């Protein structure tokens, strides 16, 4: 994505808004998840090919930012201003020390910008000095007065709905922003408007219909739906595990330590629930089983917390570009009683899997005193995992 001419291309990612329209409960929208990842993280992923990425955040969002930006090579974030315009200027000023040739200004609230769109933006800026993505308008647009009365019907073929990233030669855009601030002009809603005001010629290049701006709760739902429809390869896996009782005073079940008159014998902590869930996920991935990834002959797994096994399978789903849709666990035993610990187990499993609590079920049954579970010789667990993988994943043979 870097320019072929050796020119330095930077990005300003504007993530300083409060996002109250998205109906967020306390968390600004750019830090809310869309398709399992925060909006800002998705946006950063899209721009990761650029060497210089300057984020602009709100002073209150430091902790949320650290999480969202974990693992990315970014310039230290700067604090935004009272308006989007002031925030962009803060980002540009911070970038000035690095003297980029071109800059892309992008809203964190557009997390679906593609690599192709970003490449187009860079190319257009290199050709013209100021370029913005735009889409033809399909609705008929009318201007109205303050009473809602139609003034005129605008000629649709001359209109474009404009998006970000907007791309500019760096020095003239910085100068235009500085001049606007000096002259008290704070009413610009995008950077192209400032460039136009400063006398730059701005060219429109083709935007992307998928590059939506997430503003309200409806946008969030639409984004989720778009994201899920790309993960249309739905797979189900099952897992079964059994461990025998031996002398002890507690068991681990579903990630929870439960005091009991016996313990479960095993190489690891013998958490049958997490083992069954791990196998269910590996089954859905058609990727071996817990024994093939964590051989009992391997000393490093002795006494291991089974969180690690489940986390391994969860990460394997993520690595394939997938998401966990649902985990369902049934525990079969006469004792201990599962009911009092059910919610703690669901919470532990949801935390390890990184999914919502309403996507985790824990059920329990006795076997009516029949069989080894009925005789109290051990505990059995049965799990089902439903995952969604990208369609392209069907091309990968594992």
Beta carbons within 10 angstroms of residue 265's beta carbon: 13
- Least distance in angstroms from the C-beta of 302 to Mg ion: 13
Among positions 41-80, residues that touch Mg ion (CB under 5 A) are none
Q: Is 279 in the site for Mg ion (CB under 5 A)?
A: no
- Least distance in angstroms from the C-beta of 243 to Mg ion: 6
Residue (of 17, 9, 10) closest to 39 by Cα position: 17
Structure tokens at 21: 């329209």
Closer to Mg ion at the Cβ: 241 or 328?
Answer: 241
- 16/3 Cα distance (integer angstroms): 28
Closer to Mg ion at the Cβ: 109 or 380?
Answer: 380
Among positions 135-164, residues that touch Mg ion (CB under 5 A) are none
Give the residue carrying structure tokens 């525990």.
331
Q: Is 275 in the site for Mg ion (CB under 5 A)?
A: yes
- Least distance in angstroms from the C-beta of 282 to Mg ion: 13
Stretch that binds Mg ion, among 126-134, 153-161, 269-277, 360-368 (CB under 5 A): 269-277
- Least distance in angstroms from the C-beta of 346 to Mg ion: 20
- Least distance in angstroms from the C-beta of 334 to Mg ion: 19
Torsion region of 87: left, alpha or beta (phi above 0 gives left; psi -120 to 50 gives alpha)? alpha
Among positions 221-240, residues that touch Mg ion (CB under 5 A) are none
Q: Let me know: does 214 contact 220? Beta carbons within 8 Å.
A: yes
Among positions 337-376, residues that touch Mg ion (CB under 5 A) are none
Q: Is 269 in the site for Mg ion (CB under 5 A)?
A: no
Closer to Mg ion at the Cβ: 42 or 275?
Answer: 275
* Residue-wise DSSP of 286-297: T---HHHHS-TT
Closer to Mg ion at the Cβ: 227 or 241?
Answer: 241
**DSSP label at 27?**
S
- Least distance in angstroms from the C-beta of 246 to Mg ion: 14
Give the residue carrying structure tokens 């009782």.
245
- 271/254 Cα distance (integer angstroms): 7
Stretch that binds Mg ion, among 47-55, 245-253, 275-283, 296-304 (CB under 5 A): 275-283
- Least distance in angstroms from the C-beta of 306 to Mg ion: 8
Stretch that binds Mg ion, among 140-148, 217-225, 272-280, 337-345 (CB under 5 A): 272-280
Closer to Mg ion at the Cβ: 61 or 241?
Answer: 241
- 229/379 Cα distance (integer angstroms): 38
- 37/45 Cα distance (integer angstroms): 10
Residue (of 42, 5, 266, 247) closest to 122 by Cα position: 5
Question: Could you give the string, one character per residue 238-257, with x where binding to Mg ion holds by CB under 5 A and - elsewhere?
Answer: ---x----------------
Give the residue at shortest CB distance from Mg ion. 275
Q: What share of the chain is helix, strand, coil (3-state, %, to 5)?
A: 40, 25, 35
For residue 107, is the peptide bond before it cis, meaning its omega torsion is within 30 degrees of 0?
no
Query: How many residues interact with Mg ion (rule CB under 5 A)?
Result: 2
- Least distance in angstroms from the C-beta of 223 to Mg ion: 39
- Least distance in angstroms from the C-beta of 120 to Mg ion: 52
Closer to Mg ion at the Cβ: 231 or 290?
Answer: 290
Residue (of 246, 266, 388) closest to 318 by Cα position: 388
- 353/228 Cα distance (integer angstroms): 18
Which residues bind to Mg ion, rule: CB under 5 A?
241, 275
């Amino acid at each position: 994505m870097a320019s072929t001419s050796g020119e330095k291309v930077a990005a300003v990612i504007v993530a300083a808004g409060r996002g109250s329209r998205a109906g967020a409960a306390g968390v600004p929208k750019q830090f809310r998840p869309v398709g399992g990842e925060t909006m800002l993280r998705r946006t950063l992923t899209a721009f990761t090919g650029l060497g210089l990425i300057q984020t602009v955040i709100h002073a209150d969002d430091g902790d949320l930012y650290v999480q969202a930006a974990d693992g990315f090579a970014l310039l230290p974030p700067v604090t935004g201003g009272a308006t989007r315009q002031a925030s962009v200027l803060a980002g540009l000023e911070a970038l000035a020390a690095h003297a980029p040739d071109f800059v892309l200004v992008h809203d964190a609230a557009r997390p679906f910008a593609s690599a192709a769109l970003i490449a187009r933006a860079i190319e257009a800026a290199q050709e013209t000095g100021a370029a913005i993505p735009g889409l033809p308008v399909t609705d008929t647009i009318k201007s109205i007065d303050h009473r809602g009365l139609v003034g005129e019907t605008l000629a649709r073929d001359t209109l474009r709905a404009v998006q970000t990233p907007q791309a500019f030669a760096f020095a003239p855009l910085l100068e235009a922003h500085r001049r606007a601030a000096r002259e008290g002009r704070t009413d610009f809603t995008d950077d192209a408007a400032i460039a136009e005001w400063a006398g730059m010629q701005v060219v429109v290049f083709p935007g992307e219909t998928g590059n939506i701006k997430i503003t309200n709760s409806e946008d969030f739902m639409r984004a989720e739906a778009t994201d899920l429809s790309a993960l249309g390869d739905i797979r189900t896996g099952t897992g079964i595990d059994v461990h025998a009782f031996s002398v002890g005073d507690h068991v681990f079940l579903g990630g929870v330590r439960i005091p009991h008159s016996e313990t479960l014998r095993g190489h690891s902590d013998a958490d049958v629930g997490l083992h069954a869930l791990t196998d269910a996920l590996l089954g859905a991935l058609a990727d071996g089983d817990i024994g093939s990834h964590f051989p009992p002959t391997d000393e490093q797994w002795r006494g291991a917390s089974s969180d690690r096994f489940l986390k391994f399978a969860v990460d394997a789903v993520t690595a394939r570009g997938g998401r966990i849709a649902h985990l369902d666990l049934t525990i079969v035993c006469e004792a201990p009683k599962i009911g009092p610990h059910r919610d703690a187990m669901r919470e532990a499993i949801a935390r390890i899997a990184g999914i919502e609590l309403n996507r985790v079920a824990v059920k329990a049954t006795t076997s009516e005193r029949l069989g080894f579970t009925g005789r109290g010789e051990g505990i059995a667990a049965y799990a089902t995992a439903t995952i969604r993988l990208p369609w392209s994943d069907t091309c990968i043979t594992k």
